Structure 1
Amino acid sequence: MMFAIFLTALLAVSFAEEPKHTPPKVQVYSREPGQFGQENILICRVSGFHPPDISIQLMKDGLELPNANQTDLAFKQNWHFHLTKNVAFKPMPEEKYSCKVTHGSTVKDYAWEPNM
């Protein structure tokens, strides 16, 4: 009986200390200032999220860009995670680039602004 009470108390403390669901902060940018017809790197930085069930897709006109590189999932002391994904690209007029982030059941698309 004492063991069951101890186990219940231990589980309650464990779950109480677990961070709540925190949506990601997303930044979409390019390594160099955007110039049409110039090689560049499209970068999507996703940070401050919990739990770590997340996927990042770099998109061009609604289709995922191939050959993207992603860092390993990392976290800070407070168990908030961060990831970065990047891919080489050559932006052209009328093309739309974005970062599609799926965190749990929430899906959001973040547009790249070329700042040209």
Structure 2
Amino acid sequence: MGKFVITTRKNGEFQFNLKAGNGQTILASEGYSTKAACENGIESVRKNSQDDARYDRLEAKSGQVYFNLKAGNGQAIGNSEMYESAASRENGIESVKKNAPDATVEDQSA
């Protein structure tokens, strides 16, 4: 079962990572100025993760591929790691779809 882990960055911003059951990070957020905004980001991931149209499938200059998950307003709410193949990226997207809706939240920001 997946979980969202909230942490604090060195600059004081809050961020979350969605981790799969094996502990691997499958989605990382931007920085948020407040914990409440970070928690809203988690809810946005839960809500938008099931809509395949919300995933931007992208390629880096290095040739590796990745994805961004967008909210209804088009703003990116999470991005993936780099993958070696499009098939691996699709597996990552499926993992977000599977883990996000019921993931627990672990607050490590304190």
Instruction: Say yes or no: TM over 0.5.
Output: no
Query: Looking at CA atoms only, which structure, 1 or 2, has the larger radius of gyration?
Result: 1
The TM-score with structure 2 as length reference comes to: 0.31
Hey, which of these two has a bigger chunk of helix by percent? Answer: 2
Higher strand share: 1
- Which structure has more relative contact order (CA 8 Å, sep 6+)? It is 2
